[in-house]
């Protein structure tokens, strides 16, 4: 009798052990399965936001000084370095992750980590021809890293004064902000070179200087591409569409092909200066002839009927982030960023300033 009870006890003990092991296995399998599902990218079926900025103002005292003849333009069309940094913080806090423009162009479904929202970012101009007025002089490579450079402030080399360098610093701190290694698209011109390098005949430097600048610029472009940045044409001359004749657009495309494409590579993406364009026009067909078929426009708009129905080209609208937008679009940009919170009060106009934008 005693032995029989002992055998039952051992069997019950063994059964309990098996149940505990099985429970542990199920629980851990269940949890790991769930954790896996949470990190697995899921298809995003909402609107993919696309925002853009120009080069940043880092020295607000200089940029917004009454003695600066372009201070009005800086105030309306640019963000300060402080604002851009704060903008990235807001975007991150609001669940946005950077995706590359190329992925959106492909037309493939966009997948992002569960709970995240995709965001495309582009930076326009970046010619740095406003010498010593509060912007940097050029983008450089220092110790193999993308840095900003100006001879007009100390330290001359930094990673906190321009969009690409601030973005890089931010991604170092928050790697998950860049999904799949995505970075921004740089929409560059030609009339004054690119990224601060006087690499075209219109820069009016000696031929030898131009050749040296091309070589330096190519190294910076290669490093940017390696990081994940892509390039778009913002047209060579940066002339507004409506004021251009067909022959001017022909010449513009030819100049881009000759002087900028060899530095940044071929691109399908054309970013209209000031967003001005007429998609259904013989002038726009010239861009298409030069193999541009992705057109970046400006505004909180899905496109005209013609643009949305187009099968030979894609028209993508972007939201500007600049002084004007921070003041005027506080409500419509609220899902992206609190524009009041990021507004730099060292600007010479208050946040409440609403006038004079459409003169």
Residues in the site for Zn ion, rule: CB under 5 A? 124-125
Contacts of 227 (CB under 8 A, 6+ apart): 146, 168, 181, 183
- Specify the residue, 52 or 177, whose C-beta has the smaller distance to Zn ion: 52
> Positive or negative, the Cα torsion across 166, 194, 235, 295?
negative
Closest residue by Cα to residue 126 from 51, 216, 227, 231: 231
CB of 135 to Zn ion, least distance (A): 14
CB of 230 to Zn ion, least distance (A): 17
SS (H, E, C) the chain: CHHHHHHHHHHHHHHHHHHHHHHHHHHHHHHHHHHHHHHCCEEECCCCEEEEECCCECCHHHHCCCCCCCHHHHHHHCCEHHHHHHHHHHHHHCCEEECCHHHHHCCCCEEECCCCEEEEEEEECCCCCCCCCCCCCEEEEECCEEEEECCCCCCCEECCCCHHHHHHHHHHHCHHHEHHHCCCEEEECCECEECCECCCHHHCCCHHHHHHHHHHHHHHHHHHHHHCCEEEECCCCCCCHHHCCHHHHHHHHHHHHHHHHHHHCCCCEEECHHHCCCCCCHHHHHHHHCCCCEEEEECCCCCCHHHHHCCCCEEEEEEECCHHHHHHCCCCCCCCCCHHHHCCCCCCCCCCCCCCCCC
Structure tokens at 358: 């459409």
CB of 190 to Zn ion, least distance (A): 12
- Specify the residue, 187 or 337, whose C-beta has the smaller distance to Zn ion: 187
- Specify the residue, 137 or 322, whose C-beta has the smaller distance to Zn ion: 322
CB of 53 to Zn ion, least distance (A): 11
- Specify the residue, 109 or 299, whose C-beta has the smaller distance to Zn ion: 299
CB of 125 to Zn ion, least distance (A): 4
CB of 273 to Zn ion, least distance (A): 5
- Specify the residue, 119 or 188, whose C-beta has the smaller distance to Zn ion: 188
CB of 209 to Zn ion, least distance (A): 25
CB of 271 to Zn ion, least distance (A): 7
* Length of the chain (residues): 359
Closest residue by Cα to residue 294 from 48, 119, 104: 104
CB of 234 to Zn ion, least distance (A): 5
- Specify the residue, 81 or 186, whose C-beta has the smaller distance to Zn ion: 186
- Specify the residue, 124 or 307, whose C-beta has the smaller distance to Zn ion: 124
- Specify the residue, 44 or 237, whose C-beta has the smaller distance to Zn ion: 237
Taking each helix axis as running N to C, give the angle between helix 81-93 and helix 163-173, from 0 to 180 degrees, rounded to the nearest 10.
40
CB of 78 to Zn ion, least distance (A): 11
Taking each helix axis as running N to C, give the angle between helix 282-289 and helix 246-255, from 0 to 180 degrees, rounded to the nearest 10.
20
- Specify the residue, 187 or 220, whose C-beta has the smaller distance to Zn ion: 187
- Specify the residue, 140 or 188, whose C-beta has the smaller distance to Zn ion: 188
């Amino acid at each position: 009798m005693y032995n029989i009870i002992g055998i039952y006890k051992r069997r019950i003990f063994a059964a309990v052990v098996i149940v505990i092991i099985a429970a542990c296995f199920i629980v851990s399998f269940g949890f790991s399965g769930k954790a896996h599902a949470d990190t697995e990218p899921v298809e995003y079926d909402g609107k993919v936001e696309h925002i853009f900025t120009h080069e940043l103002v880092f020295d607000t005292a200089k940029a917004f000084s009454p003695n600066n003849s372009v201070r009005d333009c800086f105030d309306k069309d640019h963000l300060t370095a402080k604002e851009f940094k704060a903008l990235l913080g807001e975007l991150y806090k609001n669940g946005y992750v950077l995706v590359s423009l190329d992925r959106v162009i492909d037309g493939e479904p966009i997948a992002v980590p569960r709970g995240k929202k995709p965001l495309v970012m582009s930076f326009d101009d970046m010619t740095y021809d406003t010498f010593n007025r509060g912007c940097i002089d050029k983008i450089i490579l220092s110790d193999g890293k993308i840095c900003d450079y100006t001879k007009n402030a100390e330290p001359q080399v930094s990673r906190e004064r321009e969009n690409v360098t601030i973005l890089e610093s931010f991604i170092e701190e928050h790697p998950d902000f860049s999904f799949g290694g995505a970075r921004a698209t740089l929409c560059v011109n030609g009339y004054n070179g690119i990224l601060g390098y006087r690499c075209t005949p219109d820069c009016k430097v000696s031929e030898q200087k131009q050749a040296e600048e091309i070589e330096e610029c190519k190294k910076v472009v290669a490093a940017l591409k390696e990081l994940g940045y892509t390039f778009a044409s913002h047209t060579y001359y940066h002339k507004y569409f409506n004021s251009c004749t067909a022959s001017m657009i022909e010449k513009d495309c030819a100049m881009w092909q000759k002087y900028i494409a060899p530095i940044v590579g071929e691109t399908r993406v054309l970013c209209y200066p000031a967003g001005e364009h007429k998609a259904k026009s013989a002038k726009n067909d010239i861009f298409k002839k030069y193999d541009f078929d992705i057109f970046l426009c400006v505004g909180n708009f899905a496109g005209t009927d013609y643009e949305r129905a187009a099968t030979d080209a894609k028209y993508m609208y972007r939201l500007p982030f600049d002084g004007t937008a921070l003041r005027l679009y506080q409500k419509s940009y609220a899902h992206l960023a609190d524009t009041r919170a990021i507004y730099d009060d060292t600007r010479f106009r208050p946040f409440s300033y609403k006038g004079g934008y459409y003169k």
